[in-house]
Amino acid sequence: MRFLFLGDIVGRPGRIAVQDRLPRLRDQWKLDCVVINGENAAGGFGITEAICDELIAAGADAVTLGNHSWDQREALVFIERQDRLVRPANYPKGTPGRGATVVEARNGARVLVVNVMGRIFMEALDDPFAAMERELSACPLGEVADAVIVDFHAEATSEKQAAGYFLDGRASLVVGTHTHVPTSDTRILPGGTAYQSDAGMCGDYDSILGMQKEEPVRRFLQKTPGARLEPATGEGSLSGVAVEIDDATGLAKAVWPVRLGPHLSEAVPPWAQG
Ligand SMILES: [Fe+2]
Ligand SMILES: [Fe+2]
Per-residue pLDDT of 119-176, as tens digits, reads 999 999 999 999 999 999 999 999 999 999 999 999 999 999 999 999 999 999 999 9
CA of 14 to the centre of ligand 1 (A): 12
Query: Residue 52: pLDDT above 90?
Result: yes
Q: Is the pTM of this model over 0.95?
A: yes
Give the ligand whose atoms come closest to the C-alpha of residue 87.
Answer: 2
CA of 8 to the centre of ligand 1 (A): 5
Handedness of CA 100, 103, 105, 108 (dihedral sign): positive
CA of 149 to the centre of ligand 1 (A): 18
CA of 66 to the centre of ligand 2 (A): 5
Between CA 133 and CA 87, with CA 96 as vertex, the angle to 5 degrees is 50
| Among 192, 202, 139, 198, CA closest to 167 | 192
Mean pLDDT for all residues in the chain: 96
Annotated catalytic residue: which of 68, 153, 178, 180? 68
- 68 part of the active site: yes
| Among 54, 49, 44, CA closest to 16 | 54
Give the ligand whose atoms come closest to the C-alpha of residue 39.
Answer: 1
Query: What is the spatial order of strands in the sheet that 62-64 belongs to?
Result: 85-86, 62-64, 33-37, 2-6, 238-245, 252-260
